[in-house]
Structure 1
Amino acid sequence: MIRAQVRGIGHYLPERVVDNDWFTTFLDTSDEWIRSRSGIERRHFAAPGQTTSDLAIHAARAALDDAGMAADDIDAIVLATSTPDLTFPATATIVQAGLGMTRGFAFDVQAVCAGFIYALANANALILSGQAKRVLVIGAETFSRIMNWDDRGTCVLFGDGAGALVLEAAEGDGTNADRGILATDLHSDGRFRDILQVSGGVSSSQTTGHLMMAGKEVFRHAVEKLAKSTVDVMAKAGVTADDIDRVIPHQANVRIITGTARKLSLPMEKVVVTVQDHGNTSAASIPLAMSVARRTDRLHDGELVVTEAIGGGLSWGAVLLRW
């Protein structure tokens, strides 16, 4: 059977690094307060005039280089973002042009912090259906543009960045020993949309708005839903937690990461954690963490990897793949 296998991975972070002490210059907060509640020590912010597509193009080029491919080797781009350059066209088409890709198609996926999981599932479906042979999957965000800098509970948590990977169709035996995406699991429940949202919108207010979050409520949903989705995606592929070599979760909050691992009885030695250096980069956090893990020798060929995320919507899900 056909499997969507990873051929290359890359990421990009803006040059500006903002540590926790920066927030103490205008907020009633401290480095200790931020670290103890989130695990975050620093994050990157995009420069003035630097857009989501700029970050995405850098990450995409790195992934293409890693795969040994050119832009026109790609059939499709699926870009996950909640901070697009423009209302339309899709930021993916801007990336397509920026890469010099003159064929194929490109579109955006919007599922907030779960965006990359949704993008991976969509890219996998494109490959399995024969719509595309090679898909560039990107998560890119400039969340610093939608922060309320008076809200110390949210503005300290987020950062900007991008990550990308190249998926390619390849033949497998149809067992969970195959390389590539083995199972996906997606969910959403709009009844909880108010606990994590942005106040603006084209249709509702004609403004960009600011991020608003009920942190305790999000945490309560996150651990339960992420653990359940992870169990379900493993069951679909016929594997157990003991079979997992690496967990690469959405990098939102170290307490959510450790709480989910504990609920699944997965040792933290298997979990990739980068939130301390990047903050929550929403749809970019998983591919960014994957790329960093690959470059720091924490992710190897043949390893069984589970990745999961939850975001506004609420939207959540998990993907199981063999690297």
Structure 2
Amino acid sequence: MKGARITAIGSYVPSRRLTNTDLEQMVDTNDEWIVQRTGIRERRISRADEYTSDLCAAAVQDLMKRYGKSVQDVDMVLVATSTPDFSFPSVAAIVQNRLGIPLTSGAIDMSAACAGFVYALHTAHALVSSGLHHKVLVIGADALSKITDYTDRSTSILFGDGAGAVLVESGGDKDHFLGGNLGSDGSGAQHVYRTGLADKVNGVELAATGMLVQNGREVFKWAVRTVPQGVQQVLQNAGAELAEVDWFIPHSANLRMIEPICERLNYPFEQALYSLEYFGNTSAASIPLALDLGIREGKVQNGQRILLYGFGAGLTHAGQLVSLSLDPQVGAPTPY
């Protein structure tokens, strides 16, 4: 087995801001109510002609500019998303062409909703550490505004658009992926969904609106119960202690969800990083966005141990403990 590490990161969010004040004009809500219940103040919204593949490409371009990286030797592209431009072809294939990644590179989308980025990281680590691939581009991206019902107060206040990308490359003899954990519980599939060809799951009739539907109460209960257990499993698999974790980056679903997760873990809330305050819930993009925010703000440093944990529709969850080992930056990040 070879070592693997994350060598570069990039991110992108659209320029349009949808603030809580804006939402007051659209649904029966107000800024105080939204902040109190979610911690979200605004979210970024893609243009009508801006799709997930565009968000992905912009995030990778930010990565290349900041770290002086080329994608001409990438041999696999993994895109985690729930909002592909098309059912097929894949977003990964579109990105591969857009960025001039070699035709010999593999390209696939991964569907694990808000856990998708960590699932893709897990896969990239397996590919690189096994020696099957040498340089894997991992992207978490979603354009959730395109499937959000802005007459539904329970979902319209939550979701935004964005993308984050990392490169996973050989780390020599040292593996910077220290341990992980995956899980799923399909018995809760009806709690977060967007209808497709079928109109029921687990015997439950679904609202065939084509929009995102969520039972927030059920997802909250499941996440607060499941994530702390999953984190402990990650640590056990890594042979590590929680006190050794410098930063905890859970999926940025809702601040009121992250708080009790930290409480159950007895982990300092001030060492939890999130991207929801100004970007909203960006599903597969929320964890790489939070990681990159921490890097941009000078909080996250090489050598630190970062525990990533995604959770969402499926119901799926995935965790990964990594020791950060980015290459030196040579350019400034794209401003948000």
* TM-score of the two chains, using structure 1 as the length reference: 0.95
Structure 2 Cα separation of the partners of residues 27 and 209 of structure 1: 20
- Residue 185 of structure 1 contacts residue 229 of structure 1 at CA under 8 Å; is this kept in 2? yes
Q: Deviations over 1:245-274 (max 9, x none)?
A: 111111110011111111111112211122
Structure 2 Cα separation of the partners of residues 203 and 262 of structure 1: 39
Structure 2 Cα separation of the partners of residues 8 and 275 of structure 1: 22
Helix, strand or coil at the partner of 1:229: helix
Q: How does 1:168-183 map to 2 (within 5 A)?
A: 168-173=169-174, 180-183=176-179
Tell me what 1:111 maps to.
112
Tell me what 2:161 maps to.
160
Structure 1 Cα separation of the partners of residues 270 and 67 of structure 2: 28
* TM-score of the two chains, using structure 2 as the length reference: 0.91
Confirm or deny that 1:201 pairs with 2:196. Answer: yes
Structure 1 Cα separation of the partners of residues 288 and 29 of structure 2: 30
Helix, strand or coil at the partner of 1:71: coil
Task: After TM superposition, give the deviation of residue 104 of structure 1 in Å.
Answer: 1.1
* Counterpart AA for 1:197: Y
- Residue 13 of structure 1 contacts residue 55 of structure 1 at CA under 8 Å; is this kept in 2? yes
- Residue 193 of structure 2 contacts residue 313 of structure 2 at CA under 8 Å; is this kept in 1? yes
Structure 1 Cα separation of the partners of residues 269 and 311 of structure 2: 19
Task: After TM superposition, give the deviation of residue 169 of structure 1 in Å.
Answer: 1.1
Tell me what 1:86 maps to.
86
Structure 2 Cα separation of the partners of residues 266 and 72 of structure 1: 41
Q: How does 1:36-185 map to 2 (within 5 A)?
A: 36-102=36-102, 103-173=104-174, 180-185=176-181
Structure 2 Cα separation of the partners of residues 11 and 202 of structure 1: 33
Tell me what 1:12 maps to.
12
Q: Which moved more, 1:260-269 or 1:132-141?
A: 260-269
Structure 2 Cα separation of the partners of residues 155 and 221 of structure 1: 21
Task: After TM superposition, give the deviation of residue 208 of structure 1 in Å.
Answer: 7.4
- Residue 64 of structure 1 contacts residue 166 of structure 1 at CA under 8 Å; is this kept in 2? no
Structure 2 Cα separation of the partners of residues 193 and 202 of structure 1: 15
Structure 2 Cα separation of the partners of residues 265 and 244 of structure 1: 12
* Counterpart AA for 2:271: K
Structure 2 Cα separation of the partners of residues 191 and 132 of structure 1: 35
* Counterpart AA for 2:154: G
Task: After TM superposition, give the deviation of residue 64 of structure 1 in Å.
Answer: 2.8
Q: Deviations over 1:50-96 (max 9, x none)?
A: 01000000101222333422111211111000000011011001001
Aligned length: 316
Tell me what 1:28 maps to.
28
Structure 1 Cα separation of the partners of residues 270 and 32 of structure 2: 24
Structure 1 Cα separation of the partners of residues 56 and 247 of structure 2: 25
Structure 2 Cα separation of the partners of residues 76 and 61 of structure 1: 17
- Residue 201 of structure 1 contacts residue 208 of structure 1 at CA under 8 Å; is this kept in 2? no
- Residue 39 of structure 2 contacts residue 276 of structure 2 at CA under 8 Å; is this kept in 1? yes
- Residue 118 of structure 2 contacts residue 320 of structure 2 at CA under 8 Å; is this kept in 1? yes
* Counterpart AA for 2:191: I
Q: Deviations over 1:107-144 (max 9, x none)?
A: 10001111101111111111122221111100010000
* Counterpart AA for 2:244: D
- Residue 234 of structure 2 contacts residue 320 of structure 2 at CA under 8 Å; is this kept in 1? yes
- Residue 139 of structure 1 contacts residue 163 of structure 1 at CA under 8 Å; is this kept in 2? yes
> Taking every aligned residue pair, what percent have the same amino acid on both sides?
39
Structure 1 Cα separation of the partners of residues 61 and 128 of structure 2: 21
Give RMSD over aligned pairs: 1.4
- Residue 258 of structure 1 contacts residue 268 of structure 1 at CA under 8 Å; is this kept in 2? yes
Structure 1 Cα separation of the partners of residues 296 and 2 of structure 2: 28
Task: After TM superposition, give the deviation of residue 157 of structure 1 in Å.
Answer: 0.2
Helix, strand or coil at the partner of 1:171: coil
Q: Deviations over 1:166-221 (max 9, x none)?
A: 11012235xxxx5x2111211111100011111x214659x870111111111000
Structure 2 Cα separation of the partners of residues 166 and 154 of structure 1: 32
* Counterpart AA for 1:201: G
Tell me what 1:244 maps to.
245
Structure 2 Cα separation of the partners of residues 75 and 123 of structure 1: 11
Structure 2 Cα separation of the partners of residues 222 and 237 of structure 1: 22
Helix, strand or coil at the partner of 1:248: strand
- Residue 241 of structure 1 contacts residue 265 of structure 1 at CA under 8 Å; is this kept in 2? no
Tell me what 1:307 maps to.
308
- Residue 275 of structure 2 contacts residue 287 of structure 2 at CA under 8 Å; is this kept in 1? no
Structure 1 Cα separation of the partners of residues 316 and 99 of structure 2: 30
